[in-house]
Amino acid sequence: MQLNRDELLQAYRQMATIRTFEERLHDEIKTGEIAGFTHLYAGQEAVAVGICEQLTHADKIVSTHRGHGHCIAKGCDVKGMMKEIYGRAGGLCKGRGGSMHIADLDVGMLGANGIVGGGAPQAVGAAIALRLEGKGSVGIAFSGDGACNQGTTFEAMNLASVTKVPAIFVFENNHYSEHTGDAYAVGTDKDIASRAEAFGIKSWRANGCDFFDVFSVFGELLEYVRAGNGPAAIELDTERFYGHFEGDPQRYRGKGELDRIRDERDCLKAFRARVTEGALLADADLDAIDAEVAQLIEEAVAEARADAMPDNDTVADDVYVNYY
């Protein structure tokens, strides 16, 4: 794996954008301006970016309720996303979807999904469609240690295995399904990837807090799937820096756990250390990106606040392409 300077800068920019976006939401939600359920992706940036930086818009992803990171990594417009989360007319989905239902098919983002496990069968359907196109594109289902227990995920893996389509099951194990630990809820003495292996699906494992490990391992996986070998899976050991949803008191966390994972498992810190120690990039390069990203998010919030609310006359628009 060799990433050039521009690719490294872009990867950092994407991860920093996700982190800053989520941290800003964490603050803004407390003001009461943003209602509903918001599930923050901070901590898991290396996964979304390490994967999506290797995809094109022709590759399709299906995301989860914790979908902001996947959206940004896949190329969704950040300002459009912020407006969507503020429920504004100019939102990426006209304010109809909100945090849990952001999609942008133009960039291959088939949708975040409020139903845990809802997306995996759709990624297989995307893969069925993409195989017919014959261009080596892939359909990816992002799932977590929660969705890995849903029947839809099992059905999807089996269907992908049977049909040998280019579907990829990405299991981001952040160790909590809502407020319950994976040690309890994932019934196996092995790991989640081993479940995919039980379906005859070749599986990989990577450190989901290390961009370079994700990039390298997923790159190998992607080459395997693009070559027409059928489906694949990857489990990524990662961390969720915030609660299941904003407002979650997180009493299930161990003493000092949040401090520890931020100290030891922060993918942005690890990235910076790696590239500066290896003299691939300078601190100043990364600081400049941090400043750019801070400015972008500042503008995104200001523009979202200033944007109009949707017109009430549109409340029942776009249910059908045409009805009568």
Partner 1 sequence: MAVMNIREAIASTLYSEMERDENIIVLGEDVVGGNGTAGGPEAIGGIWGTTPGLWAKFGPDRVIDTPISESAIIGAAAGAALCGKRPVAELMFADFVGVSLDQLWNQMAKFRYMFGGKTKCPAVVRLIYGAGMQTAAQHSQSVYAMLTAIPGLKVVLPTTPADAKGLLTEALRGDDPVMFFEHKTLYGVKGEVPDGEYRQPFGQARVVREGGDVTVVACGRMVSFSEKAADKLAADGVGVDLLDLRTTSPMDEDAIIESVEQTGRLVIVDESPPRCSLAADIAAMVTERAFTSIKAPPAMVTGPHSPIPFSRTLERAWVPSPQKIEDAVRRVLGFR
Q: What are phi and psi of 212, to 5 degrees?
A: -70, -35
For residue 99, state whether it binds partner 1 (rule: CB under 8 A).
Answer: no
For residue 205, state whether it binds partner 1 (rule: CB under 8 A).
Answer: no
State which of residues 7, 36, 115, 309 lies at the interface with partner 1 (CB under 8 A). Answer: 115
Residues 43-82, interacting with partner 1 (CB under 8 A): 60, 62
Which listed range, 23-31, 100-108, 226-234, 262-270, lies at the site for partner 1 (CB under 8 A)? 100-108
Q: Which residues contact 186 (CB under 8 A, 6 or more apart)?
A: 145, 148, 149, 192
State which of residues 77, 155, 290, 303 lies at the interface with partner 1 (CB under 8 A). Answer: 155
User: Minimum Å distance from CB 110 to partner 1?
Assistant: 5
For 29, the token pair is 């939600």
As to burial, measured by CB atoms within 10 angstroms (0-12 exposed, 13-18 middle, 19+ buried), residue 30 is exposed
Residue-wise DSSP of 254-274: PTTHHHHHHHH--HHHHHHHH
Q: Which is nearer to partner 1, 43 or 97 (CB)?
A: 97
Q: What 3-state class would DSSP assign to 177?
A: strand
User: Minimum Å distance from CB 121 to partner 1?
Assistant: 2
For residue 272, state whether it binds partner 1 (rule: CB under 8 A).
Answer: no
> How many angstroms separate the CA atoms of 226 and 131, rounded?
10
For residue 124, state whether it binds partner 1 (rule: CB under 8 A).
Answer: yes
For residue 130, state whether it binds partner 1 (rule: CB under 8 A).
Answer: yes
Q: What b/e readout covers 191-201, taking b as 16+ CB neighbours within 10 angstroms? A: bbbebbeebeb
Q: Which residues bind partner 1 (CB under 8 A)?
A: 60, 62, 91-97, 101, 103-105, 110-111, 113-115, 118, 120-132, 139, 151-152, 155-156, 158-159, 162-163, 316-324
